[in-house]
């Protein structure tokens, strides 16, 4: 039997108090809806995601997109997905979920579908028991028999005391889903089309509604506000850290570490406290990262040490040393054994093997060869301010020694084996093996201080 998922993700999410649609709020580097999509893909043949026109569909891969133009409730959103399943058989099972339930697992869904197969369910819902059911639809029963779901805003006081809640997860045979959706009406406080009413419609038509309780307890059955977002994030983050640690990564003080879902870290790497690793970052084996470090969308080679630093969209080679207090801006590429030291900022530059920028420097739009030493306080002047946004390049070839407190005014080229004197302003190309001195000659005025003090009385 064909299994199809519909994920309802078009809701505004007013309680998030955000211009960002609720299901797009990130959890560990990806929209919360992506966790639901992953769970659905594991158990169904096709996934349809219903979104609003405020969501960019290009972020979704290998799913079918349907649109709910006006937010008129879950029933209306489900109707929007019907065209995408029109070719499915009448007996196809349609699994319906909400995009704000990132803690649901494929194992939960597999168990639910197995239950529906066992019971040959025409319609079924997955419930849970919540210690605090506030905000959820309540499951009204007559003894064990399902009667209806009543939404929080429509519930009487006695109904609000019920702790069995609707998880927003259903299974329908297609023919019964189509039938019931044609009959739902917006007769409720919100003037919306509730998918929950489809169950009552089918029950009134004599269709048995099967009910399965979730086999585990969740702290969040759908994210509706920032507090619940934080709770869901904490759980998913711990799952990520556990997975990494079980695969050979040492994480000291995990409570202070945040690592995104798509991050890859090699064996024997140590993550020290207060580390944030984001995006598509890949870190090799035997690295030490932290403390107090942020890495975003970067590649870090084996054996590299990064401490008290920020690295963004850059490629760091093997056995490099970064920090403390380095700022690696986007577009850098470093070969092995490179040192970027204390209070150094680099941007869109290439560094050859064994090159060092130990401290107090800015290197931007530069191509630097092998075994180069750049003295403290050196900067590349890559921006004149007179050519729009154009940045001029600096080229430093192999085995160059740049003296301390140098200003390299781009465009400029310093050729192999050259030296520049401390305190120089380099405005012209430096030949191979030359010494460049770009400073005024020192003049000492004898007894100048004594005369000045005498003249001032």
CATH class of domain segment(s) 241-436: mainly beta
pLDDT tens digits for range 225-263? 999 999 999 999 999 999 999 999 999 999 999 999 999
Could you read off the pLDDT of 438-455 as tens digits, one per residue?
998 889 999 999 998 888
DSSP 3-state of 174: helix
- DSSP lists the bridge partners of residue 27 as 30
Distance CA 74, CA 76 (A): 5
Residue holding tokens 């092998």? Answer: 370
Strand partners, 289: 271, 306
Residues 303-340: tens digit of each pLDDT = 999 999 999 999 999 999 999 999 999 999 999 999 99
Q: 6-10, 135-139, 272-276: lowest mean pLDDT where?
A: 135-139
77-99: burial string, b at 16+ Cβ within 10 Å, e else:
bbbbbbebbeebeeebbbbbbbb
Residues 37 and 47: beta-carbon distance below 8 Å: yes
Q: What is the pLDDT of residue 174?
A: 97
The predicted pLDDT at position 400 comes to 98
CATH 2.160.10.10 boundaries in the chain: 241-436
Number of C-beta neighbours around residue 110 at 10 A: 13
DSSP secondary structure, 63-113, as one string? SEEEE-SS---HHHHHHHTGGGGTTS-TT-EEEEEETT-TT--HHHHHHHH
pLDDT at 189 over 80: no
Average pLDDT of the segment spanning 119-131: 94
Helix-helix angle 174-181:196-204, to 10 degrees: 100
Examine the pLDDT at 386 and tell me if it is beyond 90: no
The stretch 97-116 carries a mean pLDDT of 97
Residue 134 above 90 pLDDT?
no
**Residues 44-64: what's their mean pLDDT?**
93
Give the pairing type, strands 138-142 and 145-150. Answer: antiparallel
On average, the pLDDT of the chain sits at 95
| Phi, psi dihedrals of residue 195, rounded to the nearest 5° | -65, -30
Residue 2 confidence (pLDDT): 92
Q: Specify the CATH number of the domain 3-213.
A: 3.90.550.10
What is the pLDDT, as a whole number, of residue 144?
84
- What DSSP letter does each residue of 328-388 carry, written as one string? E-TT-EE-TT-EEEEEEEEES-EE-TT-EEEEEEEEESEEE-SS-EE-TT-EEE---SSST
Span(s) in the chain for CATH 3.90.550.10: 3-213
pLDDT higher than 70, residue 405: yes
pLDDT band at 132 (very low <50, low <70, confident <90, very high): confident
Burial class (CB in 10 A: 0-12, 13-18, 19+), 72: middle
Among candidates 192, 180, 183, 71, which has minimal Cα distance to 137? 192
Average pLDDT over every residue of 176-204: 89
Each residue's pLDDT tens digit, 421-442: 999 999 999 999 999 999 988 8
Indicate the pLDDT class of residue 457, thresholds 50, 70 and 90. Answer: low
Catalytic residue list = 359
Does the structure show a pLDDT above 80 at 80? yes
- Taking the alpha carbons at both ends of the chain, their separation in whole angstroms is 104
Bond before 324 cis per omega within 30 degrees: yes
- Check if the beta carbon of residue 389 is closer than 8 Å to that of residue 373: no
d(CA 344, CA 309): 10
- DSSP label of 430: B
CB atoms within 10 A of CB 417: 15
Token match 């140098």: residue?
A: 406
What pLDDT, on a 0 to 100 scale, did the predictor assign at position 169?
Answer: 97
SS3 187: coil
Region 184-188: what's the mean pLDDT?
A: 84
What percent of the chain is predicted at pLDDT more than 70?
A: 100
- Phi/psi of residue 91, nearest 5 degrees: -95, 5
């Amino acid at each position: 039997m064909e299994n199809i998922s519909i994920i309802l993700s078009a809701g505004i999410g007013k309680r998030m108090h955000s211009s960002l649609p609720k299901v797009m709020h990130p959890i560990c580097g990806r929209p919360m809806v992506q966790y639901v999509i992953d769970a659905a893909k594991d158990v169904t043949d096709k996934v349809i995601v219903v979104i609003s026109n405020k969501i960019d569909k290009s972020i979704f891969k290998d799913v079918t997109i349907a649109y709910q133009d006006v937010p008129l409730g879950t029933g209306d959103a489900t109707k929007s997905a019907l065209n995408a399943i029109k070719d499915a058989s009448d007996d196809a099972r349609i699994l319906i979920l909400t995009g704000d339930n990132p803690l649901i697992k494929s194992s939960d869904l597999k168990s639910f579908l197995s239950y529906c197969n066992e019971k040959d369910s025409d319609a079924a819902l997955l419930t849970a028991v919540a210690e605090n059911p506030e905000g959820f639809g309540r499951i009204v029963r007559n003894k064990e028999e399902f009667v209806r779901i009543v939404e929080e805003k429509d519930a009487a006081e006695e109904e609000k005391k019920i702790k069995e809640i609707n998880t927003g997860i259903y299974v329908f045979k297609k023919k019964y889903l189509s039938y019931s959706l044609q009959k739902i009406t917006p007769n409720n406080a919100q003037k919306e089309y509730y998918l929950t009413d489809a169950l009552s419609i089918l029950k009134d038509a004599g269709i048995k509604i099967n009910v399965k309780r979730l086999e585990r307890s969740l702290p969040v059955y759908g994210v509706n506000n920032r507090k619940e977002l934080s709770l869901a994030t904490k759980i998913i983050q711990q799952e990520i850290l556990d997975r990494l640690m079980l695969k050979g990564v040492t994480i000291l003080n995990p409570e202070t570490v945040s690592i995104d879902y798509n991050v890859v870290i090699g064996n024997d790497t140590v993550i020290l406290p207060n580390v944030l690793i984001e995006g598509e970052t890949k870190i090799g084996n035997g690295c030490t990262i932290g403390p107090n470090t942020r890495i975003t969308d970067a590649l870090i080679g084996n054996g590299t040490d990064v401490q008290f630093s920020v690295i963004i969209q850059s490629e760091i080679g093997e056995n490099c040393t970064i920090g403390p207090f380095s700022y690696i801006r986007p577009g850098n590429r470093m070969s092995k054994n490179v040192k970027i030291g204390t209070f150094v900022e680099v941007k869109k530059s290439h560094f050859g093997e064994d090159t060092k920028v130990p401290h107090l420097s800015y290197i931007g739009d530069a191509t630097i060869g092998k075994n180069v030493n750049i003295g403290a306080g050196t900067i590349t002047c890559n921006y004149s301010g007179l050519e729009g946004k154009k940045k001029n390049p600096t080229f430093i070839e192999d085995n160059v020694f740049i003296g301390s407190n140098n200003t390299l005014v781009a465009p400029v080229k310093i050729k192999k084996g050259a030296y520049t004197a401390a305190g120089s302003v380099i405005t012209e190309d430096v030949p191979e093996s030359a010494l460049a001195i770009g400073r005024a000659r020192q003049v000492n005025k004898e007894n100048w201080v004594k005369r000045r003090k005498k003249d001032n009385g």
